[in-house]
Structure 1
Amino acid sequence: MLYVISNIFNSFFYKIQHLFLLFDLPLCAIEQTKPRKRYLVFFPTIIIEALTIYDTERSDPIPTDILLRLEPLTEQDGQTICEWRYPSPYELFRWPNWESMAKDGLEFGDPRIREEQYLAVRTAHNGQLVGYVQLFPMDRTLRIGMGLRPDCCDRGWGTILAAMVVKEAQRRQPDAEIDLEVERWNKRAIRVYEKAGFTITDEYERRASHGTVNVLCMVWHNR
């Protein structure tokens, strides 16, 4: 009986979340825990964005009905992210080892940068780290970046996560343009960003950790 009720609730929340995204309305679901009581509180603000994501085509152990939330990225999170390895052709997207990151103060290896720019993406039901996002201020622009744990890719989570990051960017800098960079060959990521409302505005070459790459600049447009 409880399982049926849970499924009905999840189905209802899934429809509500997409209505909020369609009309660009903020929806927040914060999981609160008290002794012997666990519940969800919904209200229209953007403190933490939590969304339900469904994937009915996979049967592996990772939950297919899941709430995500954004939280501060910890040092332990950074160490874990540095260990992530992606299958071909995405194997180039890997961070240096944590010792080098911390020693050289690279990105989230620097405590100040980690606190100001990075957020962890966690599952709401058990706090499992499933990704990270970056919000990098650039004058009148806020440049975003995001990554999912390798085994969490290709599940349809990317578009929803991108929408979450856009809302967090709007909360931080309401008047800023929101953009991102993506390598031209990465069609999977480009499709995700297009679904989330980004359009290609420029193309250029720049240096990356794996050499000189051709990148697209994509800008978010409020639809």
Structure 2
Amino acid sequence: MNLRANRMSAEEASEIAGWTYEAPYEFYNNEPSPAMIRELMSEPYFTVYDAAAGPVPVGFFCSGNAAQVPNDAYPYSADYVDIGIDMRPDLTGKGNGGPFLAFVLEQIGQSFGERPFRLTVARFNQRAIRLYERFGFSRRHEFVKGSTTFIVMVRP
């Protein structure tokens, strides 16, 4: 993959908000709304493109509070850089996660330096958890929000 990132535009945000995933990943589907489009266009969100894939986004990433899952059980501290990633549904499960995550970590690392990373992932998403573990993330905490259990993972 030959990846590049840019701040998310309104057109990109509208497209990404409409992505739909098949079971069991439909948890990540969204109902596009003006508020969601505005959020995706805010500072911590970046669209990712692959030169080989043409003008269609292959994913996006965010950092900071936008990457956290609001909850009452786990207090996020400022000791880590929180990251969130998402790939286009048709690209998942095909070996693209490694290059994509490596690119995101490099991009965020350029902005935040040597601070350790943290991410929060739904426990059912074993595919993503295996990827994160291959990149040196380890499980630190679990919490439940609604009917979903989340795992907080960190990488020093």
TM-score, length basis structure 2: 0.83
Give RMSD over aligned pairs.
1.8
Q: How does 1:124-203 map to 2 (within 5 A)?
A: 124-125=51-52, 126-136=54-64, 139-203=78-142
The equivalent of 2:149 in structure 1 is 214
TM-score, length basis structure 1: 0.59
- How far 1:129 sits from its partner (Å)? 0.8
SS in 1 for 2:118: strand
- How far 1:74 sits from its partner (Å)? 1.0
The answer to whether the 8 Å contact 1:160/1:196 transfers is no
Flag structure 1 segments of 5+ consecutive residues without an equivalent.
1-51, 53-66
Identical-pair percentage = 28
Flag structure 2 segments of 5+ consecutive residues without an equivalent.
66-76
Aligned residues: 144
Structure with the larger RCO, 1 or 2 (CA within 8 Å, 6+ apart)? 2
The answer to whether the 8 Å contact 1:77/1:120 transfers is yes
The equivalent of 2:7 in structure 1 is 72
Cα offsets for 1:62-109 (capped at 9, x unmatched): xxxxx222222111111001111111111121122133524xx5x31x
The answer to whether the 8 Å contact 2:20/2:30 transfers is no
Q: How does 1:45-124 map to 2 (within 5 A)?
A: 52=1, 67-102=2-37, 105=38, 107-108=39-40, 111=41, 114=42, 116-124=43-51
Higher-Rg structure is: 1
In 2: Cα distance, 1:163 partner to 1:191 partner: 14
The answer to whether the 8 Å contact 1:78/1:98 transfers is no
